[in-house]
Structure 1
Amino acid sequence: MKLCIAEDPKDLPNSTQSFLEANELSNNIPLGILNRLRNNPKAYQGFKLYSLIDDDDRTLAYGHWTPPHPLALAAATQPAITAFAKAIRQENPQLSGISGPKDCIERFLEEWPELKPKITRTERMGAYRLDKVVPPRPSQAVIGPAVESDLDLVLRWRHAFDQDCQLISLPDEEAKSWAIDRIAHQEIYLARVGNVPVSSAIAGRILKTGRSVGFVYTPPEHRGCGYASHLVADLSQRILNEGYQFCCLFTQLENLTSNKIYQNIGYQWCEEFVHYHF
């Protein structure tokens, strides 16, 4: 087995894309990142892409590192995990964290046991998939894409969303660039009551047959009114209407309200992901 290291998706082994697309849901984050890098090579600074291949150039494991985020891992078999962990240990011994499917990450840590005592915080995420929307209880909100005049609000809400989810916030200029680009491409949707925005969501990563939903945020003063359910159901249906076969999203497993909301509109739990901070 050989670890290939790249700083451009086109330099990865040809088998990497098909390896990831074999399980679009589980690998939707790496697939989305690779797609973004193809469209914008400067989207991330100092990143590395890792692909473990066998003697026939078949990809057996994949990971990416986009600082300041942790190493993200996707892999298949136990031998591949073992070889990948050993190779990463030599290439990048000072990990700040690791994330990915729980079973995969647990096997990785078995090969690098010194990391376990360094774990300072654990996040548990559920990966959900929707193939058909279950209409929620109607709300007074009207759904539509965010516009240029919503930029400041989107930036405030993105920061609040990151804080709520304990995510690493983008630097101000990067966050502004992100918001401007997403608004221009009509990917951010807002629910409004009258002229007042009450909830947000984004049509995110584009996959081969599906698309992700994210940035689901409702300010505290507007929670409990069904706005997020209405918005996510509406946006998910728009994505399906565009010809995608499914929608997917992540939510924190300890957030019982979010998990219930998504299940009620047709999302089905598929897999647990973990993020260990060192």
Structure 2
Amino acid sequence: MTWFHTDEPEVFRSEAGEFLATHPDLHTMLLSGLGTIEQSRTAGEAPPTLLGWWREPGETATTAAFVWMPPHMLTASHLTQAAATHLAGLLSTRSEPFTHLMADDSSARAFSEAWRVTTGSSLKSGPRLRLHRLGRLEWPHVIPPGEARTVTGGDRALLHDWCTRFVAEAGSLGVDLDAFIDDRLSRGGWRLWTVGGEPVAMAAMTPVVAGTARLTPVYTLPEHRGRGYGAAVTAAVSQAARDAGADHVLLFTDLANPTSNSMYRRIGYRPVCDFRIVVA
């Protein structure tokens, strides 16, 4: 049993693509990360990349995978204890600094223990997250004043400012911020909720990959919170994802934020699985 790895997205897709497609909701972070790498390569860029897939002895089927663009967050599928142990060993020998990993709760705990045993260093527990999937979209019973509009290039400075504020409140997005903004901007993935022409909240979606789109981030200016703008812009982007062909519309919530968890439930999102970020 071992990890195989490459820096070539097409090789990774041929070896792990079928595995990722079996549960595109649980593998949403890997799929969107792989898409970002592929788009960068198409644009003539070559970000540092390590893509891995796990196979048991004598087997040809992939049963785990990870996507990593150092020094950003490594995202992993479900890991057995053996896969977690071997992944810790692999990363401990790399020249690129490992900074943080995101995986389902049990896998993140298994990797943390493996990292401690392998390196002698303990990882810190970061945010605990819950993956949700949209069932039937339920618009807020009382829609607040204003309307949603698609973001244009003229809004980029506002997006950068608000994303910076979001990261300060909620933590890193796990990718390069400018690339994150521009990727969604180029695909028409951003929406603003405006009142009298003034933006008060924003949300974005990833491209539809394997029938799946994920909402991130959702942000309302502090002075405009508690008025339903976050729910309204989330509903607008959720509908846009459905209209774009997504069978699975997903989002992550921070379990430490009961307000947002409650809001997403009211508009139709239901829990799928708990995740955890661990930090070096």
Q: TM-score, normalised by structure 2?
A: 0.88
Residues 168, 247 of structure 1: alpha-carbon distance in 2 compared, 3 angstrom cutoff: closer
Amino acid of the structure 2 residue aligned with 1:138: I
Amino acid of the structure 2 residue aligned with 1:32: S
Corresponding residue for residue 267 of structure 2? 265
Note the alpha carbon deviations across 1:138-186, whole angstroms, 9 max, x for none. Answer: 1112101012221211111111111111216876xx61x5434533432
Query: Does residue 105 in structure 1 map to residue 133 in structure 2?
Result: no
Query: Does residue 60 in structure 1 map to residue 60 in structure 2?
Result: no
Structural mapping, 1:1-278, within 5 Å: 1-12=1-12, 14-41=14-41, 45-54=47-56, 55-75=58-78, 77-91=80-94, 95-114=98-117, 118-136=122-140, 137-167=142-172, 175=178, 178-278=180-280
Aligned residues between the structures: 275
- Give the 3-state SS of the residue equivalent to 2:10 in structure 1: helix
Give yes or no for contact 2:88–2:114 (8 Å, CA) kept in 1.
yes
Residues 97, 218 of structure 1: alpha-carbon distance in 2 compared, 3 angstrom cutoff: same
Amino acid of the structure 1 residue aligned with 2:17: Q
Q: TM-score, normalised by structure 1?
A: 0.88
TM-superposed CA distance for 1:119, in Å, is 2.6
Residues 127, 181 of structure 1: alpha-carbon distance in 2 compared, 3 angstrom cutoff: closer
User: Distance between the aligned counterparts of 1:225 and 1:133, measured in 2?
Assistant: 19
Give yes or no for contact 1:140–1:193 (8 Å, CA) kept in 2.
yes
Residues 95, 147 of structure 1: alpha-carbon distance in 2 compared, 3 angstrom cutoff: closer
TM-superposed CA distance for 1:242, in Å, is 2.9
User: Distance between the aligned counterparts of 1:192 and 1:148, measured in 2?
Assistant: 16
Q: Any gaps of 5 or more consecutive residues in structure 1? A: none
Give yes or no for contact 1:131–1:245 (8 Å, CA) kept in 2.
no
Note the alpha carbon deviations across 1:85-136, whole angstroms, 9 max, x for none. Answer: 4444445796322221111122223433336852344211111110320121
User: Distance between the aligned counterparts of 1:31 and 1:192, measured in 2?
Assistant: 31
Computed over aligned residues only, the root mean square deviation of the Cα atoms, in angstroms, reads 2.5
User: Distance between the aligned counterparts of 2:146 and 2:14, measured in 1?
Assistant: 46
User: Distance between the aligned counterparts of 2:49 and 2:92, measured in 1?
Assistant: 17
User: Distance between the aligned counterparts of 1:108 and 1:89, measured in 2?
Assistant: 12
User: Distance between the aligned counterparts of 2:145 and 2:88, measured in 1?
Assistant: 51
Paired-residue identity, %: 24
- Give the 3-state SS of the residue equivalent to 1:12 in structure 2: helix
